Amino acid sequence: MPSESDDQQQPVKLSLPLEYQQEIFNELRTEDELLILARGCGLLRIVTNLLHSYDAAGNNLVLIVGAEDRENGWIGEALAEHAAISGASKARGLSLVNTDLMSVGTRERMYANGGIFSITSRILVVDLLTSLLAPDTITGIIVLHADRVIATSTEAFILRIYRQQNKDGFLKAFSDNPEAFTVGFAPLATMMRNLFLRKASFWPRYQATIQRSLQGKKKAEVIELEVPMTDAMRDIQNAIMECVEASIGELKKGNSGLAMEDWNVDRAIHKAFDAMVRRQIEPVWHRVSWKTKQIVSDLTVLRGLLDALLTYDAVSFLRYLDTVVAVHSPPPGSTRQNVSPWLFLDAAHTIFDTAKRRVYTGKFDAKGSANGNLEGSLRPVLEEQPKWAQLAETLEEIDRDLYFNPQIRDDSNGTILIMCADTATSRQIKEYLQSMHVQTSDHTEDDDSEPSPSAAHMMRSKLRDYLKWKPEFAKISSSLFGENQKSISDAGGGRGGPSNFRGKPPPNKRRRVRGGGSNISTSHRGADGNVQLGEDKPSQVATLLSEIRPTDAESMQKTEPIVDPLDVTEDFFELFDMDELIVVHAYDGDMDEHLLEEVKPRYIIMYEPEPTFIRRVEVYRSSHNDRNVRSYYMCYGGSVEEQRFLSAIRREKDAFTRLIKEKANMSIVMTVDAHGIEDQEDVFLRTINTRIAGGGRLAATATPPRVVVDVREVRSSLPSLLHGRNMVIVPCMLTVGDYILSPDICVERKSIKDLISSFKDGRLYTQAETMLQHYKSPMLLIEFDHNKSFMLEPFGDIQGSSSALQANATSDLQSKIVLLTLAFPRLRIIWSSSPYQTAEIFESLKTQQAEPDPIAAVRVGLDKDMNAEDQVFNREPQDMLRAVPGVTSKNLKNLVLKAGSIIEVSNMSEAQLAPMVGKEAAKKIHGFFNKNVLEVGEQPGAELVRKSIWAESTHITMSTKPIRRVTLFKIPTEEGQEQLLAKYRTLPQEALKDGAPYILDIQAGKAFPDQRAQGFTLVVQTVFKNKEDMLFYDTECSGHIGIKKVANAVHEGVMMVYFESIFE
């Protein structure tokens, strides 16, 4: 067939214009490797072209592992575009398999037809283990974010299964995060062993081919704008860095046994520093002092202050400081050990005092309040961010350039693209640009001078909001503190403690507050020495508000200038003129490449420095020779922002240097055999089927070790480690237990969080009872995190300084474990410090044990008269029923098999439930569904039976908005019926129409429209003994109660219903 041969020889069109992109593509097509590319150099573009080359052939099954949702969207669009340009008739595009709603049969048919699939790791590993997808039918696997593939990850599990049964398929891994490959001992070799790859390819920005490709024919036009900080900003930054340095010094002093080479101020400005410190301390978390834990938390707060100083306006920064003080200040009467240590430093006083003076100023006494004979002693300062004026100046420069030097017509638009760090900064820039020409003072017509851009209007509006917000915030803070103090006092049991010194400093600190000199030097400080923000007099705040009241020009402005009303845009059908458009956008990773291609800007202003985006602009400019781009780069000189930018470039360069050196010293021959650490003697013993007299070793090695695992446990790291020890993993839907090691051994695995929650809802006792009923050796596995301390105490730790609360929480968990062992003496508890140790324990437990039967394990706990394959269950209703008192794993199956739904169970009487669950359990179940709380003092002749039904219960389901509660009234007497019916007749007629969007309160005689009632579905099912007593049965209403049905119920004198506090 010549047509087929022509199709096979048809060349594939690619969109890789740069030389280094083409080299990488050719390299990837010829061999398997790990590609580590510098950020911003177009990694996803290379991946999509590589996938298209396989998709165009039409006979491949290629899997993408580790892709995020946004990347799936990018890849899908790119493959569709490539297929249209190339005219590849066999290309199928990207298929997503990311939900359990897709049936097993559908997935099996999709795999059989082939194509490009992006599959979540959890679904893929189950399909591989159950042979729904045969590994030998896979053409190849593409791994994105290869830096996340650690030994215990699900991705490593998938690759091991793939390589065990498919030696010929390709495997290619990609990453643009070189720093992740430099942590630990021999990190590159370890990562490549996890990926089962032999070769690694590095492409840093300084690589010769990349440099040559990005230089282009025309020199890049980049203008660097170094913006000086104000004196106040510089003082605050220096004070914050002083607090950081002091905190790091305290950490080093109290934890001398840890590796602290990287604990310095230079590293402290990076986002990952506090995470790095916490990661190093977590293994000994139970041994460190409370002060160390507090300082680790404070580092995150101080780093947030550094970010807020450069991005927030002065008023927003002061408001943020108010919240920080409220959270970290000590409660009145407490000792210094209960608060953040940095608040006692003089630098902390500088931070709060200077931040306040940036907004408004006045004379302050030692107590921190403004004084003076004049009521108007407070005056607004409203310091503006220096970058705002620079941004306005840059935009004016661009306008002049467009007017006097019109650009040569090219493929670029005249759009100005402003890039910033996040959406909050984006909103701030938009608000400034739309209000910078609003005058806050009278501008006479005789004044010909054009006013300069200013943020006065925006800042005055923010200050008015702040002055109104602060008193309300103080009330909320004091209210919350009162509740916390009450709970701490109750937990302390009235014993002596910090409350003994309430309202005055502790006795041993008395000398610190004596004498006038001390008070003068520590203004804005409380008696215990911590920072306290001063309170302004109401009269002075009122005077300040009158001074910044809106002028006539300000009043004409929209309240929310950055919000585009939808009713206006719906009536506007013209396209935007791209030459007159200013686009403000936040950095969004790889999606920025799409932004550049769609907007095609001629001017780019980087409001905040980002090295990755700078490279994207270089790639964009070099890929389009017909597009002129001028870039403006703004940065605060001598700021943390500049240090982070330079440090990020330096760290990436150092990471590539280390990787290149490690690769040069790494062994050429690397073992990538996926069969793991299996003993060769065991393999030989399984090969020869002869008897070993006196040993019995053959019993354990005649077949490969097998473990039946609950399918919900596959997402954890333990099945992967068991598979790495050459155990066959059989995922099944188990009713009893999580791991079946033998016909007699059943293990229920609990992490610490699961253990606490299982004790709380009583689920663990039911699980233990069921395991004891069906297995001879039931076991409870309590597994700790590999990187955390092997102790119960930190997990019982409660936020706060009360040692009584911590002791009670820890002893409570330990007491429950003791009670569990007393209640079930045959239950064995396994304590494991990590999943690695658990795998070793399981391997030793299986010694001299028979292999489990998966079919028998699935049948355990199910009905004996039915086959496991014939029983199809919905897990969610079962989980809901398990939470009902009286329902156990033993009687749950009877309810599931004999009742069609939860509705049917809830409507059963005790007599109907007793044959299925027993009399005692039936009483509990019926009491739960019919539990009423009696309230007195309602309508004459009416007995109020209130039943609060929350959205999580089985009686209410909704699609969008949460519902507080539904109140049911039972009307037993004719007198009460007549009174309520009289009120019912007074309701407006439009509200009585069935389907009207009204909320009715018949008892109060009110009806009011509520548009929020529309757009969701509410199902209310009342539960009573007899159907004759029910208002309505399984009535589905769209946004409101059916009015006619309520009316009929009132006429019949049975029951009525009205909503109370429905919406959040």
Residue 538: predicted pLDDT: 65
> For residue 932, which of 912, 948, 910 has the smallest C-alpha distance?
948
Task: Tell me which residue of 188, 190, 214, 215 sits closest to 202, measured CA to CA.
Answer: 188
pLDDT of residue 537: 61
Give me the residue label for tokens 């897990």. 875
Q: Is the dihedral of CA 926, 930, 933, 935 positive or negative?
A: negative
Residue 61 φ/ψ, nearest 5 degrees:
-120, 100
With contact defined as beta carbons under 8 Å apart, do 15 and 53 qualify?
no
Higher-confidence residue: 466 or 971? 466
Give me the numbers of helices (H) and strands (E) for the chain, helices first please. Answer: 40, 29
Q: How far apart are CA 934 and CA 943, in angstroms?
A: 8
Residue 513 has a pLDDT of 35
Using pLDDT thresholds of 50, 70 and 90, give the confidence band for residue 1037. very low
Share above pLDDT 70 across residues of the chain, in percent, rounded to a whole number:
66
| H-only helix segments in 100-218 | 104-113, 121-129, 154-165, 187-195, 208-215
Is the confidence at residue 846, as pLDDT, over 80? yes
**Contact residues for 673 (Cβ-Cβ < 8 A; gap 6+):** none
pLDDT of residue 511: 36
Does position 565 have pLDDT exceeding 70, yes or no? no
Residue-wise pLDDT tens digits, 81-137: 988 888 888 888 899 987 766 788 889 999 999 999 999 999 999 999 999 999 999
Nearest to 180 by CA among 171, 190, 172, 170: 190
Residue 1047 in this model has a pLDDT that exceeds 50: no
Find how far residue 875's CA is from the centre of its chain.
Answer: 25
Q: Is 214 exposed, middle or buried (0-12, 13-18, 19+ CB in 10 A)?
A: buried
What pLDDT is attached to residue 184?
A: 79
In Å, what is the CA distance from 64 to each residue of 71, 150, 206, 714? 11, 17, 29, 19
Question: pLDDT per residue over 959-1003, tens digit each?
Answer: 333 333 333 344 444 555 555 555 555 555 554 444 444 444 444
Residue 281 pLDDT level (bands cut at 50, 70, 90): confident
Map residue 106 onto helix, strand or coil. helix
Predicted confidence at residue 886, as pLDDT, reads 84
CA dist list (Å): 1026 to 120, 899, 930, 1029: 48, 17, 12, 6
Compute the residue count for the chain.
1064
Tokens of 220: 């890049």
Q: 513 in the Ramachandran plot: left (φ > 0), alpha (ψ -120 to 50) or beta?
A: alpha
- List of long-range contacts for 942-951, beta carbons under 8 Å, 24+ apart: 942/969, 942/970, 942/971, 942/972, 942/973, 942/976, 942/979, 942/980, 943/970, 943/971, 943/972, 944/969, 944/970, 945/969, 945/970, 947/1022, 949/1020
The rounded percent of the chain whose pLDDT value lies above 90 is 32
Report whether pLDDT(453) > 80.
yes
Cβ(956)–Cβ(975) under 8 Å?
Answer: no
Three-state DSSP state, 772 = helix
d(CA 965, CA 978): 26
User: Using H for helix, E for strand and C for coil, what is the string for 285-348?
Assistant: CCCCCHHHHHHHHHHHHHHHHHHHHHHCCHHHHHHHHHHHHHHHCCCCCCCHHHCCHHHHCHHH
In the 8-state DSSP scheme, what is residue 847? T
Is it the case that residue 876 has pLDDT exceeding 70?
no
The CA-based angle 689-694-695, given to 5 degrees, is 60
H helical segments located in 666-793: 680-687, 697-701, 718-724, 752-761, 763-774
Helix 346-357 × helix 314-328 angle, to 10°:
140
Supply the pLDDT for residue 1049: 41
Return d(Cα 752, Cα 184) in angstroms, integer. Answer: 27
pLDDT of residue 393: 94
> Pick from 173, 94, 181, 108: which is nearest to 141 by CA?
173
Q: What is the CA radius of gyration of the chain?
A: 35
What is the pLDDT, as a whole number, of residue 1017? 32
What does the alpha-carbon distance between residue 874 and residue 861 come to, in Å, rounded to a whole number? 16
pLDDT of residue 842: 94
Helix (H) or strand (E) segment spanning residue 965? strand 965-970
The first and second tokens of residue 549, run together, are 């009241």
Residues facing 633 on adjacent strands: 224, 606
> What average pLDDT does this structure show over 1017-1030?
34
Are the CB atoms for 935 and 927 separated by under 8 Å? no
**Residue whose tokens read 């927003």:** 316
Query: Is 50 exceeded by the pLDDT of residue 174?
Result: yes
Q: What value does the mean pLDDT take over residues 646-657?
A: 92
Give the pLDDT confidence of 126-143 residue by residue, as tens digits: 999 999 999 999 999 999
Pseudo-torsion of CA 267, 271, 274, 275, nearest 10°? -120
237 or 941, greater pLDDT:
237
Band of residue 931 on the pLDDT scale cut at 50, 70, 90: confident
Residue 547: band (very low, low, confident or very high) from pLDDT cuts 50, 70, 90:
low
Mean pLDDT, the chain, rounded, equals: 74
Residue-wise burial string across 243-274, b where 16 or more C-beta atoms lie within 10 A, e elsewhere: bbebbbebbeeebeeeeeeebeeebbbbeebb
Question: Using an 8 Å Cβ cutoff, are 43 and 71 in contact?
Answer: no
Indicate the pLDDT class of residue 491, thresholds 50, 70 and 90: very low
User: If we measure between CA atoms, which residue out of 997, 999, 1001 comes closest to residue 1014?
Assistant: 997
pLDDT at 882 over 70: yes
- Rounded to 5 degrees, φ, ψ at 544 are -65, -40
| Predicted pLDDT of residue 924 | 86
> What whole-number distance in Å separates Cα of residue 309 and Cα of residue 320?
10
Region 823-846: mean pLDDT is: 92
Asked if 881 and 766 count as a contact pair (C-beta separation under 8 A), the reply is no
| DSSP state for residue 1034 in the 8-state scheme | S
Q: Residue 932's pLDDT is what?
A: 60
- How many whole angstroms separate alpha carbon 180 and alpha carbon 993? 64
Residue 211 predicted with pLDDT over 50:
yes
Max Cα distance, the chain (Å): 115
Nearest to 146 by CA among 97, 117, 188: 188
Distance between CA atoms of 65 and 1056, rounded to whole angstroms? Answer: 55
- pLDDT score recorded for residue 22: 94
User: Would you state the pLDDT for residue 9?
Assistant: 52
Contact 835, 783 (CB under 8 A): yes
Over range 272-286, report the average pLDDT. 77
